[in-house]
Amino acid sequence: MKILIVEDSRSNLLVLTQYVERFGATVLPAENGETAVASFAAGRPDLVLLDVVLPDIDGFEVARRIRGMEHDGEWTPIIFLSSLGKDEDIEQGIMAGGDDYLHKPVSEVVLGAKVRAMGRLIQMRSSLVTLASKLDVANQELQRLSASDGLTGIANRRYFDEHIAREWRRARRNASSLALMMCDVDHFKLFNDTYGHQAGDDCLRRVAGAIATSLERGSDMAARYGGEEFSVVLSETTIGGALIVAEKIRHAVHALQIPHAASSLGRVTLSIGLAAAVPELNDPYATLIAAADRALYQAKHNGRDRVCRASTASAG
């Protein structure tokens, strides 16, 4: 433990230093306020023993400056040393940032008890800070898991619903276009029947990865909508821009070269429906989903492995 001792009397400083060193602590000595503030900044002690009456700035001002140097979450115990014993003096010390008060002349026994007590508080606080940090990490991981699809690792349906509602409101405020694509793995039931569910799961993971890696902007979001169906939300994107991304995704799935003997195309492919809209005041985002769903149905009806765009006015 490092202890900063601030005492203008050299004899008192020597005595306190001897006391503290017998506790096994390292001493940072200071004989005035300015030196104390500089020593605190340079040495970052674990505890401060601070005389109230100093030749330049008083101990209350030193305490205030020390508290001002501490960052969020930091705390260094400050014990004032003074012959002043009035209630208002103690109150002033606590208000300035002090944690305890010792009357001069300081008893070695009492000082030792105070230092040990503060040491326990420091340890307890350190443990709580560590625990809080671990809890924060755990909560972040829990939030990530609650937003992720367990099979594919991309966003899940719950997160999709929250995300598109948020982006729809943003697009309405900014009068910008929001694009949505609904993607469906062609003949996936036949794929499962032919190769088994384990192969089917691996197929979905690979398709999800191809979709996610095709998105270049941090604001773009891919989610597993349900079963073999995926969705992609593209903020500030027109139908033309979404078409480029959709074709990129379709070709990325082609490039996986996943065999599909039960499909006329001989490999796993993707049908994609596109819609985009600039939200009107009372339009629900469900209209965008419905438009993209209709476009997906059209893509499958027209032969699959293709991109179709919505033709309704509300789809942009």
- Distance between CA 232 and CA 223 in Å, rounded? 6
H/E stretch holding 176: none
Q: CB–CB of 232/174 below 8 Å?
A: no
Helix, strand, coil percent content, the chain, rounded in steps of 5:
50, 20, 30
Longest Cα–Cα distance of the chain, Å, equals 97
- Give the active site residues: 228
User: Which phi-psi region, left, alpha or beta, contains residue 303 (left: φ > 0; alpha: ψ -120 to 50)?
Assistant: left
Give the Å distances, CA to CA, from 269 to 21, 243, 251: 76, 17, 9
3-state secondary structure of 1: coil
Environment class of residue 66 by beta-carbon count within 10 Å: exposed (0-12), middle (13-18) or buried (19+)?
buried
Judging by DSSP bridges, how do beta strands 178-185 and 270-277 pair with one another?
antiparallel
